[in-house]
Every structure is written in structure tokens, then in C-alpha cells.
Amino acid sequence: MNDKSNNCRVCGLDQGFSPWGENDNVPSYFICPCCGAEFGLHDETYDQIKEYREQWLTNGAKWFDEKHRPEGWDQDSQLKGIPDLYI
């Protein structure tokens, strides 16, 4: 099983650090450069995550910070990185 603890609960982007700390319990309040979710604000509950993800996808899954968008980015592949508990 892949460790997805560094991934955004909304869009699956690997942040390079755990957005919710080592124990997955203390949010960093950083903002995901892909979907714009603020860790601890938009991803605290399953309902918040589902609503934010739906809104992000409905609005075209645009990158919050376009300069961080990798060349050849694939939305469907990235969504597979969402931690299992938050799909």
C-alpha cells in the first residue's frame, strides 16, 4: 500500500510533507498549490473535503498556483493520490 500521508486530502497532490503533521492530527494551515485547500480549514471533515473537491472539479480543476503545475500534469493520475479515507 502506498503511503499517502503527504498528499492533499482534496486533490491528491504530494506536498512533500505531511499537511496534518507526523501524527496526522495537527494541521499545518498551508495551502495546496494545486486545489487551493487550506489544510485544517477545507479538509477537516469528510463532508468539507467532498464539497471542496466537488467545487474544485466543477470549476475545471484549475491550479491555485499555476507556477507549481508540472508539465504534463494529469488530473486523473493525481486524484489517485488522495488518501483512501478521504475518497
> For each of the chain's 87 residues, which pLDDT tens digit applies?
468 999 999 999 999 999 999 888 899 999 999 999 999 999 999 999 999 999 999 999 999 999 999 999 999 999 999 999 999
| Phi and psi based region of residue 13 (left: phi greater than 0; alpha: psi -120 to 50; beta: remaining) | beta
- Looking at the structure of the chain, the number of domains it has is 1
**pLDDT for 70:** 95
Phi, psi at residue 71, to the nearest 5°? -60, 135
Q: Give the range of the structural domain holding residue 2, as residue numbers without chain letter.
A: 1-87
**pLDDT for 2:** 65
Predicted TM-score of the model (pTM): 0.93
What DSSP line would sit under 3-36, residue for residue? --TTB-TTT--B-SS-TTTTTT-S----B-TTT-
**pLDDT for 1:** 46
